[in-house]
Amino acid sequence: MAISFSKEKNTFNLSTKNTTYVFGIYPNGALVHLYYGGKLVGEQDADDFIRYLLRSCSSVSDRFSECDLPMEYPTFSSDVRTPALHIRYSDGTSATRLLYKSHEIYKGKKALSGLPSFYVEEGDGAETLEVTLLDEAQPLKVVLSYTVYESLDIITRSVRVINEGEDKIEVLKAMSLSIDFQSKDFDLVHLKGSWANERHIERVPVMTGGQYVDSKRGSSSHFHAPFVILADKNTDENVGEAFCFGLVYSGNFKGQTEQNSEKILRVQLGINDFDFKWTLYPNEEFQTPEAVSVWSGEGFNKMSQTLHTVIRKRLCRGKYRDSSRPVLLNNWEATYFDFDEEKIVNIARSAKELGVELMVLDDGWFGKRNDDLRSLGDWYPNLEKLPNGITGLAERVSELGMKFGLWFEPEMISPDSDLYRAHPDWAIQIKGRTAGLSRHQLVLDLSRPEVCDYVVESVGKVLSSAKISYVKWDLNRNMSEVGSLSADAERQSETYHRYMLGLYSVLERLTKDFPDVLFEGCSGGGGRFDLGMLPYFAQIWTSDDSDAIERTYIQYGTSLVFPASTMGAHVSAVPNHQVGRVTPLSTRGNIAMLGRLGYELDLGGLSESEKEEVKSQIKLYKEIESTVHNGTMYRLKSPFETNHFATEIISEDGKRVIVVYATVLGRPNSFFDRLYLKGLDEDATYILDGRSYSGSFLMRAGLLMSNDGDFSSKMMILEREN
């Protein structure tokens, strides 16, 4: 049983393969958090966790001791730390004390209303616990839902806030997750970045007081990813305790820690409470996004492996979850806006000769779009560039024996567009205030159902008009001056979240209407690479920085959470367009093959020997694709900490091992290096380049690597013999 309730001890015990999560009902009815971490056997007694905490309490209230207790879902009352839930009642007050009312445990899991979430399949051994809490004074009901995926080793959770009274209330903050740890000496690890520089790893000690990562930009953003990782001081890739908390959401978020002087560390994750207010009328409810928790006792590699599996198998969905995907060529860096039908067909033809399977036409095919100044929203072909329209171009690409794909930026509107001229009120804006442009564009107000309908219909019309197998769904600016012309004053602060609900509904409809289309997400590169997008987008363009060495950092950081199957990674031209670096074609290929391989240049311009090399890359990738997608990844060397990058992926059946080893810069007198592989069977024999090695040798003595200078790399494929 994954979930049990002890009547005698008044505790809930949630257990996965390797973890235990315990909370209890305190004598006053409040829920007290007791433990989360590696597996504990048997039933737990609350006293063993909180006995001495009560003594040290410096309560502001003599009735309860909540101020120093670890709370399960803290509110603002006699607990004067950061609350998970903050409500303003119609009488203007905001203190809340939630007390246990009832609970229910059932098999499986219910989908979240209006929001993406992890799902359950037969055999997962998943169980759900719903605990109902009532405020002691106001007619407020809160339901905490936890789903325990026993075999997949994760716990997901979300919260519903229900107004059971006769007056309206305002939800000012409703976190998806809150956990109070005791006496831990953690580091906070998170993924920070900027455009072309996404998801770099930062590790800092948790301090007394508060720290947070967040987004106020209307999307999860390039700057922080919606995750909080807590790790022991000694944790590295292979040893030590690490917790990862992730939010299944793509909008404004906040992940925060607050540690008090008694060393109770509160970690929270949810929708950002900045500029957030949600009004609930009688009987209305607010559903928070879902959060996922993962624990590892074997370092970050194990934490990532658990996440990779569950993201691949229980968040990603649709046709491309399990099936092979085409190797694509995207024309963006090959032509930017400067193309016509002949140019695209020629690029496609030379790509096809080398084995590319899908030709993607990027920005510039619609309206009057010859630069980034106009036409977003006008999703009909530019007949000057494409005289036969998208239908004709797709037909010609299909005659070459290739699939065809198209770029859209459906959430946007250019002030210079037919759409804006017809519906100036459809842009996110505040009446009487200048709406700031970014990349010369505004954001469509997806909090309005009629705008969502337009997006579904206009994109759907193009997809139905031609043989289109792939969509690149881009988002090239964040929100500012946020308001909706269709909302009254009370609802303005709901715009950010209503936008996300609108966007998810649009993506639900389109991915349902076009189940055979492969959707790839993008946001100025990887500006919206998050768990909320992955049910719709099988893969996401990881970064606009396509330089292989920059990608070692970006892909290393991204892999902390996301599996290789979700990372779009392309071979591009040299000198690289973002950083000017010249790297060998082999390194560009080796790094891109650790994600979803694609090309971002005109292959027709390569030399004959380079063309042969590209041909071999594609052939090899098709052979190793399922290992890259479904295998177990180990990060062996970090470019953040060493002069190298090395990643190993072991196939599901353990028979094949792929290792990519790259050097950032050559160093004098450093002729060799040893690379210690992980996760092999020590008694098995593995063959590499005709030589046999035991698993024990590869893991303990290590593979001898020659250092071949700046930006060099190798891909090694070991096959298990016995």
Residue (79 or 363) nearer to ligand GLA, CB: 363
What string of DSSP letters covers 667-692?
A: -TT--EEEE---S--TTSEEEETTEE
Rounded least distance, CB 361 to ligand GLA, Å: 10
* Strand, coil or helix: 49: helix
Q: Does 366 bind ligand GLA (CB under 6 A)?
A: no
Site for ligand GLA in 517-556 (CB under 6 A): 522, 524-525, 541, 544
Residue (156 or 578) nearer to ligand GLA, CB: 578
d(CA 426, CA 351): 40
8 A C-beta contact, residue 163 and residue 24: no
Ranked by CB distance to ligand GLA, the top (closest) residue is 363
> What number of H helices and E strands is found in the chain?
12, 38
Rounded least distance, CB 697 to ligand GLA, Å: 43
Q: Does 476 bind ligand GLA (CB under 6 A)?
A: yes
Site for ligand GLA in 158-197 (CB under 6 A): none
Rounded least distance, CB 523 to ligand GLA, Å: 7
d(CA 708, CA 662): 9
Rounded least distance, CB 363 to ligand GLA, Å: 3
Site string for ligand GLA, 484-523 (x = CB under 6 A): --------------------------------------x-
Residue (525 or 532) nearer to ligand GLA, CB: 525
Rounded least distance, CB 625 to ligand GLA, Å: 22
Catalytic annotation, residues: 474, 544
d(CA 178, CA 181): 10
Residue (407 or 634) nearer to ligand GLA, CB: 407
Residue (154 or 463) nearer to ligand GLA, CB: 463
Kindly report the three-state secondary structure assignment for every residue of 443-469: EECCCCHHHHHHHHHHHHHHHHHCCCC
Rounded least distance, CB 524 to ligand GLA, Å: 5
Among 153, 290, 362, 625, binds ligand GLA (CB under 6 A): 362
Rounded least distance, CB 559 to ligand GLA, Å: 20
Residue (288 or 476) nearer to ligand GLA, CB: 476
Q: How many C-alpha atoms does 715 have within 13 Å on its Cβ side? A: 20
d(CA 577, CA 543): 13
d(CA 503, CA 645): 37
Among 474, 547, 613, 673, binds ligand GLA (CB under 6 A): 474
Residue (128 or 555) nearer to ligand GLA, CB: 555
d(CA 391, CA 190): 45
d(CA 551, CA 543): 8
Q: Which residues pair with 406 in a beta bridge?
A: 361, 471
Query: What amino acid is encoded at 710 in this protein?
Result: D
Residue (65 or 476) nearer to ligand GLA, CB: 476
Among 186, 295, 332, 536, binds ligand GLA (CB under 6 A): 332
Q: Sign of torsion, CA 559 565 568 569?
A: positive
Rounded least distance, CB 578 to ligand GLA, Å: 11
8 A C-beta contact, residue 140 and residue 172: no
Site string for ligand GLA, 210-249 (x = CB under 6 A): ----------------------------------------
Among 118, 227, 278, 407, binds ligand GLA (CB under 6 A): 407
Residue (267 or 360) nearer to ligand GLA, CB: 360
Rounded least distance, CB 337 to ligand GLA, Å: 8
* Strand, coil or helix: 505: helix
Query: What amino acid is encoded at 82 in this protein?
Result: T
Rounded least distance, CB 372 to ligand GLA, Å: 6
Q: Which residues pair with 211 in a beta bridge?
A: 257
d(CA 108, CA 126): 5
Among 180, 237, 241, 363, binds ligand GLA (CB under 6 A): 363
Kindly report the three-state secondary structure assignment for every residue of 576-619: CCCCCCCCCHHHHHHHHCCCEEEEECCHHHCCHHHHHHHHHHHH
d(CA 40, CA 44): 8
Residue (135 or 474) nearer to ligand GLA, CB: 474
Long-range contacts of 43-46 (CB under 8 A, 24+ apart): 43/4, 43/6, 43/9, 43/11, 43/13, 44/9, 44/11, 44/13, 44/20, 45/9, 45/11, 46/9, 46/10, 46/11
Instruction: Determine the Cα angle at 714 with ends 708 and 719, to 5°.
Output: 140
Q: Does 405 bind ligand GLA (CB under 6 A)?
A: no
Kindly report the three-state secondary structure assignment for every residue of 315-373: CCCCHHHCCCCCCEEECHHHHCCCCCHHHHHHHHHHHHHHCCCEEEECCCCECCCCCCC
Report the interface residues with ligand GLA, using CB under 6 A.
332, 362-363, 407, 474, 476, 522, 524-525, 541, 544
